[in-house]
Amino acid sequence: MHKSTPPPVEKRRKLRPIVLSAALALLLLIGVGGWHWWQNRATFTTPAPASSSEPIPGPVLKPLTGAAVPTGSTLKEQLEPLVVGTVLGKNVSVSVVDLRSGKVLYERDPTNTVIPASNTKLVTAAAVLATRGAAYRITTTAVAGANPGEVVLVGAGDATLAVDGEGFYAGAARLDQLAEQIKKSLGTTKPTKVIVDGSLYSGPVLGPAWEANANEEGYTSKITALMIDGAREDPKDQETPFDRYSDPELAAGQALAKLLGVPNSAVSRGTAPAASGTAAPSASAPIAPGAQLGAVKSAPMLRQLEQMLGHSDNTLAEALARQVALAKGKPASFEGAAEAVEQVLTELGLPVGQFDLADGAGYSTQNQLSPNVLTGLMTRAADGKHAGLADLFNLLPVAGWSGSLDYRFAKPEAASGLGVVRAKSGTLQKVNSISGVVQTADGGLLAFAVLAENVPTWQYPAQDALDRIVAKIASCGCS
């Protein structure tokens, strides 16, 4: 059931990454690489020496085959003191599952549905992989308007669209390349007007229970079908919160207009005419309204999901959730995306009644998930029966190394999680969570989800407490 009076979203700042030595970082990265571990029965061996002048590293991971199945009683003894009676408060729900056997090793209120914060992005990512697939690309097009010289920029939901090669997102489609295609298609006809068509999306541009000025706060933007750089005004700025365009669609249209030599005053909203002819110009057959003038493709879904999860990108998460809605034939809106993602969860056999979504990013306090749903997703990604989900592990940030976990697990009591934990964290006011996978000291591979609600302490002590729980799972000699 949705909360009737949601708490406000906590204002977060990104901490600087912890500094690791190059040698340690390399070992840690190798130690978590290649998470097709179980499906392919991978065995990690000692690398061959590169040269006599370089140190030869020893084995990084023990072979997964042959490792004993952990015992739940041992893990419970080690985790209970870190879960019960701590700064996380009384409402802590936990699920820990062995990914090889599917055996539940530890749980505490695992069916309890709570606000998951950005752990919602895990669900969104899984739904995208299950529907669009890892290789799918979003195509942004420009078509001829109703009158000669008019160019209609049609939004296809690509939040990563860039103006040029200096965009915020790696591998993004570019307006400068689209502009060159448009000029070539128009031939001798001079561009006179740019019309932006954002009609693919419907409904509100801010999500349920979002703050009315959420886009001004900078942790997300208005969610529109057409934008550049996730609606960031400065794509070179890498620190949250970001300055966002108040009108992302017009900003994108103005960027294209500048490339075409069209003034901002000639940029307006509209709808693309229905295609009725060819874009090839000739003296006897002018360009027909609706004819395609150019098209550019986004980076594959896999790359976009990596960026979304790595940096907990709320705007990108909402855009990707709408791709699930489109794949399922539902409206590209907050409601349509939530329904589509829930449909995917049901199709995957996850427990109905333990998820209730309002957005794709977890920015809304109306989202509800149980730990069972999150570890259930991990189990399905590992079981070899859901091939499209296997990439989920490779997308997750690595503790102490990348993305939103680059500064986590920094304290000595959590250091055993460095490099062997891949997870998504989540933070809202009085809500702290973390879910993912971890390789234990004795070679086990476990999925975990820890969701805490009504947390009585500040964000960072709560995060430290979560890190200690997950680090204890990593160091557990549970076999």
Q: Which residues are catalytic?
A: 118, 121, 312
For residue 241, cis peptide bond before it (omega within 30 degrees of 0): yes
**In contact, 328 and 131? CB cutoff 8 Å:** yes
**Complete edge-to-edge strand list for the sheet that includes strand 292-297:** 267-269, 193-197, 150-154, 139-144, 292-297
**Distance between start and end Cα atoms, the chain:** 39
Residue 84 is classified by DSSP as S
Distances (CA, A) of 234 to 31, 223, 229, 239, 243: 36, 18, 8, 11, 7
Question: Residue 219's Cα: distance from chain center in Å?
Answer: 14
Bridge partners (DSSP) of residue 452 are: 92, 432
Distances (CA, A) of 310 to 168, 307, 313, 388: 14, 5, 8, 19
Rounded to 5 degrees, φ, ψ at 434 are -155, 135
Please name the residues in contact with 440: beta carbons below 8 A apart, sequence gap of 6 or more.
70, 446, 473, 474, 475, 476, 477, 478
Largest CA-CA distance found in the chain, in angstroms, rounded = 83
